C-alpha cells in the first residue's frame, strides 16, 4: 500500500477501456460489418419485438452507457476524505457498512 499523502501512480487512466473490452467491441464491430447483409435479412424475418431486443443487445456493446457525473464527483470526494481519515476510523466505518449491508440483504430475502 502506498503511504498516505503520496499521489496514486500506475494503472489505467480514468475512463480508458481495458484490453478485453476494447477487443470484444472490435470483434463485435467486425462481425457486424462483415455480415451486414445477412443480419439485415435475418432481422427482417424476426418479429418486431424480438428484432428490437436483438438490436438493443448489440448496441449495448457498441455504445457507452452514460455515467452520472454527480456520483463520480461524490466518489472522488469520498476517496479524498478516506485518504485523510485515520485507519482505525475507516475500519470502523467499513465494519458498520458491512453490518448494514448484511441487515439490508436479509430484509430483501
Domain assignment present for 34: yes
Same domain, 60 and 26: yes
pLDDT at 109 over 80: no
Examine the domain organization and report whether 21 and 61 are in the same domain. yes
Which pLDDT score is estimated for 5?
76
Domain membership of residue 2 (yes or no) is no
pTM of the model: 0.34
pLDDT digits (tens, 9 = 90+) for 20-66: 788 888 998 899 899 999 988 998 999 989 988 988 887 887 787 77
Q: Are 58 and 71 in a shared domain?
A: no
Decide if 97 contacts 89 (C-beta within 8 A): no
Cell 455504445 belongs to which residue?
63
pLDDT at 96: 87
> Could you give the CA distance from residue 61 to residue 21 in angstroms, rounded to a whole number?
9
Cα gap 27→4, rounded to integer Å: 42
Please report whether residue 10 resides in a domain.
Answer: no
pLDDT at position 102:
81
Residue 7 — very low, low, confident or very high, per pLDDT cuts 50/70/90? confident
- With respect to residue 9, please indicate whether it lies within any of the assigned structural domains: no
Same domain, 61 and 72: no
Give the pLDDT confidence of 77-96 residue by residue, as tens digits.
888 888 888 888 888 888 88
What confidence score (pLDDT) does residue 62 get? Answer: 77
Which structural domain range is residue 91 located in?
A: 67-109
Amino acid at each position: 500500500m502506498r503511504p498516505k499523502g503520496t499521489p496514486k501512480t500506475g494503472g489505467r487512466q480514468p475512463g480508458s477501456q481495458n484490453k478485453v473490452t476494447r477487443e470484444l467491441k472490435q470483434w463485435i464491430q467486425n462481425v457486424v460489418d462483415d455480415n451486414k447483409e445477412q443480419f439485415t435479412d435475418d432481422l427482417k424475418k424476426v418479429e418486431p419485438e424480438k428484432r428490437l431486443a436483438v438490436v438493443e443487445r448489440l448496441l449495448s456493446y457498441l455504445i457507452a452507457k452514460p455515467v452520472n457525473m454527480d456520483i463520480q464527483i461524490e466518489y472522488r470526494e469520498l476517496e479524498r476524505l478516506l485518504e485523510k481519515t485515520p485507519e482505525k476510523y475507516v475500519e470502523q466505518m467499513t465494519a458498520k457498512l458491512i453490518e448494514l449491508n448484511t441487515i439490508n440483504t436479509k430484509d430483501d430475502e
